[in-house]
Structure 1
């Protein structure tokens, strides 16, 4: 199939103090997040001068992908759009239309299924196309890549390097962004029994641990932001560090398996809050690097592209494990797959 471009579609983040509050309001619109929680999260961003590293990291990753495309002889311009902050996806797709793009692939910066990690990117695409009008480019989203060998190898090498900095017997703990339990149950067709997001996170953790030569590990969650009355996936990383300490664990390596770059939820929730809790308890702590700057990440993206442009055989380490997305060799999402969590009736 012929494609004119790649749209790099991400979450977005503020790039100055004045951006923070409107960015957070975009993120939480319609979700019933109390203002005091926004006040708290706003201070996390202001701690770093009101700037999230995510846009910079995305631009660096895009530059690496552009270089890898050139190295592999794939001629495909790369555009950058976000869900929640500039450059917004609507603006970017409008630019693509003006540039004469008719058909483009879309790389969402999430390896997983679930509402926020997958279906919401489909909604972003439809919203951006609607804003561009009836002649909007066709946009084809690339598949989940949680079990791609390059994704696993990158995390496994980083995990081995981090464990080498800690005392023998350090506990390996994988972490990903928590979501409401109801949203996770809705993630995946009924035949799967739900839980596509948490299952994929668990499988990616298993693959990385095995590749790193680690037999025992934990999978926990972080960054919950919803109303306290709604159950979210747990345990929380900070609570888990306390529990490990109570069990006599003296060193912890935390692998942010749910993230592809060191954006604010990694550097605040892990490098600050989790690290401070470990220090308070006298637990040695180290955090595994995310793949963003690893050359294999750019190679992974180009490989996903070539599945569509050249019919390259998709590589997966768990071919029978539930996955979806607009892959040339797999199933698209079911109509009711990964619906957003329903807010409780008042």
Structure 2
């Protein structure tokens, strides 16, 4: 099958104050989330005048990918579609059809197994193609890439750079802490096919943290979670980042390096939960706090995407460093493993 385009598929985010509530209603539609919760989350967006950084960051990634593709002599146009806000993926797939695109690869801005991180992107593809009709282009979702060498290298260097910003007298004793988006425990238990043993999301995140810590020269680290939502009686992955900072302070740590390994770019969850809430908690505890950059704006991230494309086009073995299973390319919204990641968990808000 000849590939004639690349689609970057992401979560989406509002770009002005008027977008915030319609966006949140899209995210939570049919999930019974109380309006009071939506209004509370909306305040996070209003703190930034209603603008989520995610769309601009994704456009930056696309520009970088286009440049790398051009240098590599790979003549693929790059399109942009979102699950929850404009440009919506169905609209983008319609435009691709109108442009004469027949077969495209899809790069999702999630590296992970699990329903929201993987299977839901298959659903997005299937629903978009159904909306466009029988002449919609074939869409092939690229593999999970949590342990790609270029991603690990970029995150490891970001950790080292962040460590260098700490006061010299506290640097040597700083604790390295990785964060990723919390999900319900049940959803994590069901992440991955049964033969993978469950908990594939949290296992992949831990594996990535292990690799990134080693790349930055750290022998030890902690993995914690952030940005949970949903009713308090539903168990989610713990501990929360702010609770963990309190625990570290009680153990005598006075400096911390936080790497949001679970995030491609500085999404709202990163800039709110880490750059606001966690930073304020660290200051309250008298801890020096350094937040490592996410990899999306690193040139190696775009190079990784093009590497995934080239790997697919050439039928090469995946470049992987991890110990955990990771699953591969599939077409037209059909999951690569039947029964994989079937949890229907609340989407993060």
- Tell me which residue corresponds to 1:61: 61
Residue 186 of structure 1 pairs with residue 190 of structure 2: yes
Cα deviation for residue 309 of structure 1 reads 1.6
Structure 1 residue corresponding to 2:240, chosen from 236, 240, 244: 236
Counterpart-to-counterpart distance in 2, 1:94 and 1:207: 40
- Tell me which residue corresponds to 2:111: 111
SS of residue paired to 2:296: coil
Where does the alignment leave 5 or more consecutive residues of structure 1 unmatched? none
* 2:330–2:336 Cα contact (<8 Å) kept: no
- Tell me which residue corresponds to 1:35: 35
SS of residue paired to 2:105: strand
SS of residue paired to 2:297: coil
Residue 205 of structure 1 pairs with residue 185 of structure 2: no
Where do 1:214-253 residues align within 5 Å?
214-253=218-257
Where does the alignment leave 5 or more consecutive residues of structure 2 unmatched? none
* 2:184–2:345 Cα contact (<8 Å) kept: no
* 2:115–2:345 Cα contact (<8 Å) kept: no
SS of residue paired to 2:289: strand
* 2:188–2:198 Cα contact (<8 Å) kept: yes
Residue 157 of structure 1 pairs with residue 161 of structure 2: no
* 1:182–1:341 Cα contact (<8 Å) kept: no
Cα deviation for residue 327 of structure 1 reads 7.0
Moved over 3 A (4+): none
Where do 1:1-346 residues align within 5 Å?
1-166=1-166, 167=170, 168-318=172-322, 320-326=323-329, 333-341=336-344
Counterpart-to-counterpart distance in 2, 1:110 and 1:342: 16
Counterpart-to-counterpart distance in 2, 1:30 and 1:214: 44
Counterpart-to-counterpart distance in 2, 1:171 and 1:341: 35
Cα deviation for residue 225 of structure 1 reads 1.1
Cα deviation for residue 36 of structure 1 reads 1.7
Counterpart-to-counterpart distance in 2, 1:46 and 1:62: 26
- Number of corresponding residues: 340
Cα deviation for residue 251 of structure 1 reads 0.5
Counterpart-to-counterpart distance in 2, 1:342 and 1:254: 26
Q: Which deviates more from structure 2 when the two are superposed, residues 20-29 or residues 32-41?
A: 32-41
Q: How much is the aligned-residue C-alpha RMSD, in angstroms?
A: 1.5
Cα deviation for residue 211 of structure 1 reads 1.1
* 2:256–2:288 Cα contact (<8 Å) kept: yes
Q: Which deviates more from structure 2 when the two are superposed, residues 141-150 or residues 187-196?
A: 187-196
Which structure would you say has the larger RCO, counting Cα contacts within 8 Å and 6 or more residues apart?
Answer: 2
SS of residue paired to 1:112: coil
Cα deviation for residue 41 of structure 1 reads 0.7
Counterpart-to-counterpart distance in 2, 1:270 and 1:240: 13
Deviations 1:83-122 (A, max 9, x none): 0000000000000011111100000001111111111100
* 1:8–1:106 Cα contact (<8 Å) kept: yes
Cα deviation for residue 321 of structure 1 reads 2.0
* 2:106–2:139 Cα contact (<8 Å) kept: yes
SS of residue paired to 2:32: coil
* 1:5–1:78 Cα contact (<8 Å) kept: yes
Deviations 1:127-175 (A, max 9, x none): 1000010111110000111110000000000101111222221000000
* 1:180–1:341 Cα contact (<8 Å) kept: no
Cα deviation for residue 340 of structure 1 reads 2.6
Q: Which deviates more from structure 2 when the two are superposed, residues 162-171 or residues 99-108?
A: 162-171
